[in-house]
Structure 1
Amino acid sequence: MTVWWAALPVLAIVAVAATMLLRRRRKAGVVTLLAANLAVLVGAALVLLTGPAATAAAPAAAAASDAASSGASGSALIAAAIAVAGSSIGAAIAVAYTGSAALAAMSERPEMFGRAMVVVGLAEGIAIYGLIIAIILIGQA
């Protein structure tokens, strides 16, 4: 894990350099960003393959059952994170559009406040549904 802390300033410098290159020379900036993404992908794969689960000295049967159970719970946690992130982003986009439309309607007719807030609340319910799905997934892991 300390490798990532050491690589973090380098990645920040590469990101700033790529941003500056994107403004001046678009093609060189895109190539720099692709190289940085590839480096992060290779580093993550190395950490995943050489992590503590890969180097544990345990009997074969116990190692197989531990790997299967940690893989299943890890997959459930990743699925829960994707559910929360996706629903939150969707709710943010929905609230942005419905909120601006609600404010425009209320500026012309102030008595529309109740209906407008119901529509915005329904859009916010998308995030709550994602949170409920994440709780169910974590409970089954």
Structure 2
Amino acid sequence: MKFYHFLLPLAALVLISLPLVNVLRGMSTGKKARRNIVLNLCAFFGVCALAVVMPVGGLVSAASEAAAAGSAAAGMGYIAAALSTGLSALGAGIAVAAAAPAAIGAVSEDPKSFAKALIFVVLGEGIAIYGLLISILILNRV
């Protein structure tokens, strides 16, 4: 095995976990939190650049080069499934982040509004379920 088979996953792990050091220290407020977010994004794109520049496919799969060359369409299908699930979960998180505190406030003022408030929170979660269903349909085609 070559040295970068061990070095690249280690570098990826360090780049991804680097912003968490300040979070564990409790220094994640204000400008420091903004700097941590920027650092986390840079680490993510750095790992993506490493994955493009120096692929380590031999570690992940034992497929031959001929089989790997023919599976470009399958790879795009897997990327599409991952994007549909990930982005729909992100959208659901944003929706629930806005709806849940409002629902809690409405229920604390009027306990009879629990069912109405719960419906709005569940509608936000439905977005993630739709994305998961789309990714299952994509994976059935691959």
What's the TM-score, normalizing by structure 1? Answer: 0.66
- Return the letter of the residue paired with 1:102: A
Identical amino acids, percent of aligned pairs: 40
CA contact under 8 A between 2:12 and 2:47: conserved in structure 1?
A: no
CA contact under 8 A between 2:82 and 2:135: conserved in structure 1?
A: yes
Alpha-carbon distance in structure 2 between the residues aligned to 1:130 and 1:120: 17
Alpha-carbon distance in structure 1 between the residues aligned to 2:97 and 2:17: 33
Give 1:13 shift: 8.8
Give 1:119 shift: 1.1
Residue 11 (structure 2) pairs with residue 7 (structure 1): yes
Extract structure 1 runs of 4+ deviating beyond 2 A.
Answer: 5-17, 36-43, 45-48
Change (3 A) 1:47 1:94: same
- Return the letter of the residue paired with 1:77: Y
- Return the letter of the residue paired with 1:130: G
Change (3 A) 1:125 1:40: closer
Flag structure 2 segments of 5+ consecutive residues without an equivalent: 23-30
Alpha-carbon distance in structure 1 between the residues aligned to 2:45 and 2:95: 33
Equivalences for 1:90-105 in 2 at 5 Å?
90-105=91-106
Residue 74 (structure 2) pairs with residue 67 (structure 1): no
Match of 1:116 in 2: 117
Equivalences for 1:1-141 in 2 at 5 Å?
1-8=5-12, 11=15, 40-48=47-55, 51-52=57-58, 63=66, 66-68=68-70, 70-141=71-142
Alpha-carbon distance in structure 2 between the residues aligned to 1:80 and 1:38: 20
Report which of the two has the higher share of helix: 1
How many residue pairs were aligned? 121
- Let me know the Cα RMSD of the aligned residues: 3.4
- Return the letter of the residue paired with 2:128: A
Alpha-carbon distance in structure 2 between the residues aligned to 1:6 and 1:125: 37
Flag structure 1 segments of 5+ consecutive residues without an equivalent: none
Q: Which has the larger radius of gyration?
A: 1
